[in-house]
Amino acid sequence: MHGDNHVARIEVPMPQMGESIAEGTVSRWLKQVGDAVERDEPILEISTDKVDAEIPAPQSGTLVEVAVEEGETVEVGTIVAYIDTEGGQASSADDSDEGDEAGDDPDGEDEDPSPEQETAPESDEDEKEDEKEAETDSRSQGEEDEPESAEERLKQRSTPVVRRMAEEHGVELSEVTGSGHAGRVTKQDLLDHMEKAEAAPDASEEPAEEKAADRKEKAAPARSEGRPATAAPSELWKTFYGEVQHPEFPVRDADRVETMDKIRRLTAEHMVVAKRIVPHVHSFIEIDFTRIDRIRRENKKKWSEQGARVSFTAFVTWAISRVLRDFPMVNATASGNNIIYRGNVNVGIAVDLDPGLIVPVIRDADHLSLVGIGSKVMDLAERARSRRLSPDEIQGATFSITNPGVLGTMVGLPIIPKGTAGILGTGAIEKRVVVVEDPETGEDSIAIRKRSIFSLGYDHRIVDGADAARFLYALKEMLEGFPEDA
C-alpha cells in the first residue's frame, strides 16, 4: 500500500536558469499545499542571479508538499515541492487517509515519529525499505507516513552529492550537524565536519593513530569500488572555486548592521570566486575620442529620426567586437588544462542599478551595426533597471565592458567575470591639453582633445602581457580612426 500511495507523486526541482547559476532562492509561493494546479501554471517565484522568474508546474495535479520555504536558498536540482498527479490529498496532520496507512494513527504524518512508532515491531522492516530506497537515490523525503530512524531522516535531508561525499570519506551523516532546511546536511556542513575531524586528533598521539586507521579503513571500500583516490582534493578544489564564507568581525557600539540583500550577497560571492580563479593583470592606454565625438555630433539628428541613441559605450562595444576577432585568446576561457576559444563574440555591458550591478549581454555583437549596438545598449540598460531582463540575457558573455567613467572616474581596475578572460574599464572622457604632431610636417603643437584612459583586465594564464598590449593598441587605432560608415 505504501508504494502505491506515492507512485503518482512527482518532484519539482529548483531549475537551472543559466550555465553559471548554481543556486536559487524561493521568493514567493503562488500556490499553497492542497491547491490544485494545472500543467505550466506558475506555482512559485524564484530569484537567481538577480533575475526573478516564475516556475510552472510540470504536470497537472495537487500540490501536496512544499520542501523549501520562502526566503530559502538551495542548490540547482534540489526538490522544492511535490505534486500528486492523481489529485491525492496533501500531507498534513488532519489527513485521515494517510493516517490510516500509517497504522490508523491520525497523526501519522508528523515529521518526527513518536517513541511508540520508533519501537513498533514493523520498524526494522520499514528501516530496511528506507535503506534500499536511499541506496538507489529515490526521493523519500515526502514519505513521512512511515516510521524511520533519526539516521535515515538525516540521510533523506541531504542531496545525493552530499551522501556520495560522506560515503567516499567514511563519514556518518548522523554525526553531522545540518544547517539546511529542517536540519538538512549541506555540502558545507560536511566539509566543516571533516575539517574539524582532521584537526581534532592533534590533542594526543594515540587517538590520532586510531582515528587515522579508522578513516583509512572506512575509505577502503570506496577505493575498492573503483573510485579515484583523488576524490578528496577534487572536492576541496570544487569548494574553493565554488563556495564563499566571509569572515566575521566584532560590532562596535556606534555601528549599524544590515543583512546583505540578494544582489549584494551574490555580487560579493561572485567577486571573491572570480579573484580566486583568475590571476588578474591590468594594462592601460589613452584613447583620443575627438573623431568619435565629431561623428556623434554630425549624426545625432539622423539617428534621433531613426529612433536610435548611440552612446560612447556603443562606439566602444562596436570596436571591441571587431578587435576580439583578431585576438581569440582574449575571447576565451581556461577550462582545466584546456583553453576554450569562444566561437561567438558576446559582449557583457555592466549596468549600474544604484544600488547593485547587472551585466546584460549583447550576443554576436560583431555582426551588428553601430546603430544596432546603440539600440541594444539602451534597451538592455532600461530593462535592467526595471528588472525586466530574462535569465538568458545575462548569460553567455565572452568579454565584458564596464564604464566607471560615466561617474567621473579617471580609470578603474575591474574584476574579470568568471568564465571569461578579459574585461575593459573605460574612464571618463574629458577635455585635456595634449601635445599633437602634425602628420604632414611632423611639427608638435599643443591642442585640446577629448581623451579617456582605458584599462584592460586579463587572465594571465592564457593572455600574455604582449598580447594585451597589442590588443589595446589595435583598439586604440580602431577608435581613433573610427569608420564613418560603421
Strand pairing category for 280-288 and 444-459: antiparallel
Task: Tell me, letter by letter, the H, E, C secondary structure of 96-134.
Answer: HHHHHHCCCCCCCCCCCCCHHHHCCCCHHHHHHHHHHHH
Catalytic residue among 2, 246, 367, 460: 460
Stretch (H or E) spanning 332: strand 332-335
- CA–CA separation, 70 and 93 (whole Å): 21
Neighbours of 116 (CB within 10 A): 10
Burial classification of residue 185, based on how many CB atoms lie within 10 Å of its CB (0-12 exposed, 13-18 middle, 19 or more buried): buried
Is 193 an annotated catalytic residue? no
Task: Provide the residue type at 456 as one letter.
Answer: L
Using CA atoms, how far residue 243 sits from 72, 240, 276, 414, 415, in Å, is 17, 6, 11, 21, 18
β-partners of residue 426 are: 454
Contact 469, 448 (CB under 8 A): no
Strand pairing category for 347-349 and 361-362: antiparallel
Catalytic residue among 100, 379, 464, 467: 464
> Among 373, 389, 382, 386, which residue's Cα sits nearest to residue 308?
373
Is 246 an annotated catalytic residue? no
- CA–CA separation, 221 and 344 (whole Å): 46
The x, y and z cell numbers of residue 118, run together, are: 520508533
List active site positions. Answer: 460, 464
